[in-house]
Amino acid sequence: MTTQSAQAPPPERLQEDFDATIAHDQRIEPRDWMPDGYRGTLVRQIAQHAHSEIIGMQPEGEWIGRAPSLRRKAILLAKVQDEAGHGLYLYSAAETLGTDRAELTQRLIEGRQKYSSIFNYPTLTFADVGVIGWLVDGAAICNQVPLCRSSYGPYARAMVRICKEESFHQRQGYELLMTMMRGTDAQREMVQDAVDRWWWPSLMMFGPPDDASPNSARSMAWKIKRHSNDELRRRFVDMTVPQAEKLGVTLPDPELRRNEQSGRYDFGTPDWDELTRVIKGDGPCNAERMRRRRSAHEDGAWVREAATAHAAKQAARARKEAAA
């Protein structure tokens, strides 16, 4: 290794090799040379994804204590636990790019990195748990399945595992809604109300429209990203409409109708000003989500310090024993 790095190839050659790897749809691995912009884009995207998993535990986590059956309680607890696990794999993938979890957590807490704006909306009834599974996890799957073919190896591999688990979560959410729709009038009303509140924010999960998405083109050229925001959003609508019909709920968009020519669905325009406001920090729950994350981190500082101190003492005791 050291002799090789002493005779490192010239930068043009490194760039050519990188470009060829991308062009041939092969994976970039942690030890490979990569342009700074590629590394920076990946760290930003993977960290944002990891933060979203962790912040995303909050809106649903609120309902673990109140889940109305022991089976639903176990399912929800397991789901939120999976999200913590996803955060762990993603922070590990980011660490392969040279940025550790503590640093990324600090950036989140200081508001220097973002998480998905969807988690800044409140969960008002237990039906929200089902709708988050169906629509929010569904939109996440549409976004994430193509990332299983992302050009960066550790990210792509983490996504394979995450997508498998997300698809369980989505089924679980849909099944909860199906059960509620077969229940009482009050339950059906709760489901429709939750769909009304979550539909447009779910469409916004695909990001701003293509002509207003500054980083998209470069990410697509690098094959970090595989489809445009608008294309993914359309796919999501196409897949979701029949599911809504089967469920018996109305999607709150008067412009939504099947286009007989294309066989796809035409739909209205999300309120992009709302998305901008929520991203900038003025969503209904931004402050609350950040406050919870920050206080968990700060309240846990003494625990992490104790674990570090104990490990150091143990190591010192082991050295002393070995020397004796």
Partner 1 sequence: MSDDHVYMTLAEGHEDDSRWAFGTGFEDPLHGVDTAVPEGVDAAALAADCVALADDALVLAQRLAEWITRAPELEEEVALANIGLDLLGQARLLYSRAGQTDGTGRDEDAYAYFRDPADFRNVRLAELPREDFAFAVTRLLVLSAWRLEHFRRLTAHPDPVLAAVAAKGVKELTYHRQYAAEWVVRLGDGTPESHRRTRTALDRVAPYLGELFTACDVREEVVAVLRQVTEAAGLPMPAYRPLPGSGRDGEHTEHLAPLLAELQSVARAHPEATW
Write out the two tokens for 135: 């629509």
CB 183, min distance to partner 1, A? 5
The nearer residue to partner 1, 34 or 145, going by C-beta atoms, is: 145
Residue with tokens 């969503």: 283
Q: Give the whole-angstrom CA distance, residue 114 versus residue 101.
A: 15
Least CB distance to partner 1 at residue 45 (A)? 18
Residue among 258 and 313 whose Cβ is closer to partner 1? 313
CA distances from 125 to 28, 63, 72, 112 (A): 44, 8, 14, 31
Task: Give me the sign of the Cα torsion angle 292, 293, 298, 299.
Answer: positive
Q: Which is nearer to partner 1, 271 or 298 (CB)?
A: 298
Residue 34 beta carbon to partner 1: minimum distance, rounded to whole angstroms: 24
Closest to partner 1 by CB, 76 vs 275, is: 76
Closest distance of CB 285 from partner 1, Å? 13
Dig out the tokens for 188 from the structure.
């059906």
Smallest distance, Å, CB 262 to partner 1?
17
Considering the complex, state which of residue 179 and residue 213 has its C-beta at the smaller distance from partner 1.
179
Q: Which is nearer to partner 1, 145 or 275 (CB)?
A: 145
Q: Give the nearer residue to partner 1 in terms of CB position, either 133 or 270.
A: 133
Taking the complex as a whole, the smallest distance from the CB of residue 18 to partner 1 amounts, in Å, to: 24
28, β-bridge pairs: 152
CB of 30 to partner 1, least distance (A): 21
Helix spans in the chain (H): 2-6, 11-23, 36-55, 57-61, 70-95, 101-109, 127-131, 137-144, 153-181, 185-204, 216-221, 229-247, 272-277, 286-299, 301-323
* Nearest-angstrom CA–CA distance, 197 and 317: 58
Distances (CA, A) of 233 to 49, 56, 122, 132: 18, 20, 22, 17
Place of tokens 């070995």: 322
